[in-house]
Structure 1
């Protein structure tokens, strides 16, 4: 892949929240506790940033005028994920990422999919264990610079794993609970780059985040008013502006019993 393309992808993965205006988190829980955890991200706005900084001719020169549709298996990246823990590698090994990119149509989408075998693994996934440093480091080795190449350092910023980590997540048979961890929230908000995030939030910018959970049986209780239940109460949906979390994380905590 071309050098500029690899750098742009590194930036996107490091600070995708700046360009990502819609995230769909889709969770399916089977009766035996296994299931799938999928995150779909639409980063179409990043295309405009690329066009602004590089220009149409430069993008064409780098070969980015062609459409890209590819799938990456994370088991091929595990060994290169130097910052990933053994726990993260176990969560990532069966996962995959589907990437679609089309400059002309302003399309840039990333779909991350992780099957899991038990509720403990789902608890780790919902806590951001597979979407943080480990995964980002692995992807940088694929899309980032090769040895000997000189590229500008990618900007730093929180990823979805950081946002998820401010909650204590508890998953048991019949229970899904997310509660704010005050200490982790304070540490998160004290990070220097969060000042920019607060400015984005105050400017009216939205990052639409939708969580959909398919339960193995009907929900008995859902205590957050933002949660919507399907007619059979087996599908739970919650949609909100992720940036509101910066000011009021308790608003998006919940307990679901089923």
Structure 2
């Protein structure tokens, strides 16, 4: 087990989506996306380039707290190395090792892909089972942005009632910020949004990915009070898949059920 200082996001917030067999092959060839989404994908390096990647890893830091995340992009299996604990997902079950003593309130199934989903959202909107609706230009806190609504079909992941609202810069087509709901714990659709602003981007292996984002409360559809800052370093992509055994459930571990 690797020991790093805990990165704790104040249990903030995004749904846990259950992996399917191959996330890079789920869409039929020739599929088209609404223009803002296609231009957003292109502005961040392109979906074709994303599909060539098999592994994503990074260090994520909040203050002095740190974790290392490794994700198999083909099946979304995940491994998180923290200070005194590991969290993993093997495609079926989420686990924490050796136990929850280092983080008593942890929910591995909820958390294992939480940061990854925020970090790679630009490309994950191209997953199957997602409904995309272009809402057009909106003025948000004095800035003209393109608003795109994201919802999920009933069979998608553990929390298909989640909703995302993407705000895209109409000049650069970079993703500026998002609003999102969390339904994992209730299973009920809701309208009390959380917010997240992408404050810094970095080109890594031809893809533009965030190396910092900031979480916010939301008031009246506007980002309000800052909640946390997450910074990323040592971001790496690989064309090779990670060793599958790193996601295996350790002998000494606890399993997190769906709910």
TM-score by length of 1: 0.29
Who wins on radius of gyration, i.e. which is larger?
Answer: 1
TM-score by length of 2: 0.29
Return the structure number with greater strand share. 2
